[in-house]
Structure 1
Amino acid sequence: MLDPRLLRTFVAIADAASFTIAADRLNSTQSTVSQQLGRLEAAVGQSLIDRSARPISPTPSGERLLGYARRLLALQDEAQTLLADPSGTITIRIGVPDDVVTQAMSQQFARFAERHREIRLDVTTGLSRDLTKRFRAGEFDIAIVKEARADGDARASFSEPLGWFEARDICNDWPDPIPLVTFPPGGLYRDLMIDRIERERRRWYIAFTGNSLGSVLSAIEAGLGVSVLPVSTVAAHAVRASSIFAADAPLVVSIYAWESDGATGELVAAMSEVLSDRPGEQINSKPLDKR
């Protein structure tokens, strides 16, 4: 591998057409510049500067190397500049349910990122039960989860009203068994639906399973079946409250974090502000003990 310092000396000599001027530009001495050129010539096995020419100039081999040397040095300078920039060198890992990543939440992320260019936000969406396990295992710095009741270390908790929804523009007299639109197994809404229907002694079947809130809402709009969803998620969609069952008891949306101060605490406060604007009411809000 060619030493970048020797290449830089070679380029300076070629550009200046003078050992003396090159030494001045490199804040070095003429003898050091001459020695470094000699080391580079020994490394490549070729004479690179015609010292007998007036002014001195690259040899044919030197001319061939010069373009490569400039590109190598430019890449080195670019890499050094990139590494000197702290942007995105610190990571905050966040786990959230799919429907929590709203425009308002994304705007809070954007404002936070503008204030903290050194921080990269790694956001993972998923089912609340899985997010809780991964947070407890230390995979996330912050997690928002939906649960029946908040644990004692929740930073803040908010009520999440639920409802049964069906297509707004399709008149449905739901058959027996009842078609359900659900999230995959393990989802809270899926379990709530099945438990409620079985308590009512009604029959059911899974008509559609979607991995995202958008796919579930689209299936409801198309009339594939009924589903339980948070009231806060349906306003912009062609769905309506179904009369098939009365609303279930609300869930709790809780935010957890391992740190309560610094940039993480600032982000938790911003995310809590978004959650507080959703339909429902705040249940608690308290600082976390540092761990």
Structure 2
Amino acid sequence: MVSALIDPVLLKSFVAVIESGSFTRAGERVHLTQSTISQQIKRLEEQLGCVLLDRSGPYIVATEEGEQLLGYAQRVLCLMEEAVEKLSEGRSQGEIRIGIPEDFATDPLTATLAQFVRAHVGIRLEVTVGLSNTLWQQFCAGEYDLVLVKQRPGQVPGRAAWPEPLSWIDSLEAPARMQDPLPLVVFPVGGLYRNEMIHALESTGRRWRISYTSASLASVRSAVARGIGLSVLPARLAQPGHQRLGCAEGFSEPPAMELAMHVRNNSPHRVLELADQLEAQCAKVVAVNA
């Protein structure tokens, strides 16, 4: 009685021989030696009790029984490949690496990211929060699929952009603006707000000093609220313990900035889907704070 179970490895070698017309070329296709391929075909023929290959001509061809088996073998191998591909896709659909500035790494965007992860369990999402200049340099170096960065309006065209007005921020209870030199609360070297702040003071001849430096937005806002110094921040980030300064206090409005989304060219669908969701959420955040 012929066994109903056929080793798919034997079927793979059988199909390779038929399609290539040679044991040697078949061995190259499946990465086996010619003798191993020959032995596998012999085992298959013995199991099925019939001759599958006609070796009499210049090329190996299928016998009538071999032709019948070929169709089944191709379908079996195709289904196996489809099953492996489907299961692999379910386990991991790839990785998405994104970078966002700290002031947008808050509930609205993290909620969007969490919802995306729950809907795509096979995708590994890697989020980095940092300074815009650093994120942009890393994006250009190929480290991210998508970034949200602060930049001067139109500096680098992106997928989308939203206005980000800046404002001088001082403490409400312990103002620091009357001190000379003017104490500044700043982000580390390279931070956009830091550059804008220093440039504005230099252009008016006002003396200044760095009183507090931090890469943390929460730390910067707290230092300003406690009267350690002034800072320039997005106007929407002013808190109850802050007061916004303008021309009446001798501070001209800083140049406008924008939040821009940049997505790598030829990104896969999953990245574009996430970009759509983040774009919609960013538009809502900006609209609420307009």
What is the TM-score with the length of structure 2 in the denominator?
Answer: 0.63
Question: Does residue 165 of the first structure (1) align with residue 169 of the second (2)?
Answer: yes
1:148-187 superposed matches below 5 A: 148-150=152-154, 153-172=157-176, 174-187=178-191
> Is the counterpart of residue 277 in structure 1 residue 284 in structure 2?
yes
For the structure 1 residues 152 and 186, does the alpha-carbon distance in structure 2 shift closer, same or farther, using more than 3 Å as the test? closer
Distance in 2 (CA, whole Å) between partners of 1:172 and 1:203 is: 13
Question: Match for 2:244 among 238, 241, 244?
Answer: 241
| Unaligned ranges ≥5, structure 2 | 1-86
Which has the larger helix fraction? 2
Q: 1:130-158 CA distances to partner (integer Å, 9 max, x unpaired)?
A: 21111111100001111113355510011
TM-aligned CA distance change 1:196 to 1:152, over 3 Å: closer
Shift of 1:266: 1.2
| TM-score, with length taken from structure 1 | 0.63
Separation in structure 1 between the aligned mates of residue 143 and residue 124 of structure 2, nearest angstrom: 15
Structure 2 counterpart SS, 1:133: helix
Which of 112, 134, 138 is the matching residue for 2:138? 134
* Structure 1 residue identity aligned to 2:284: D
> Does the 8 Å contact 1:181/1:209 carry over to 2?
yes
Amino acid at match of 1:277: K
In structure 1, distance between residues paired with 2:121 and 2:241: 39
Partner residue, 1:250? 256
Aligned 1:84-123 pairs, distance under 5 A: 86=90, 90-123=94-127
Aligned identity (percent) is 35
**For this pair of structures, how many residues does the alignment match?**
198
Measured at CA, do residues 265 and 176 of structure 1 come closer, stay the same or move farther in structure 2, by a change above 3 Å? Answer: same
> Tell me, what secondary structure is at the counterpart of 2:158?
coil
Q: Which amino acid aligns with 1:199?
A: S
Q: Which runs of 4+ in 1 moved over 6 A?
A: none
Partner of 2:269 in structure 1? 262
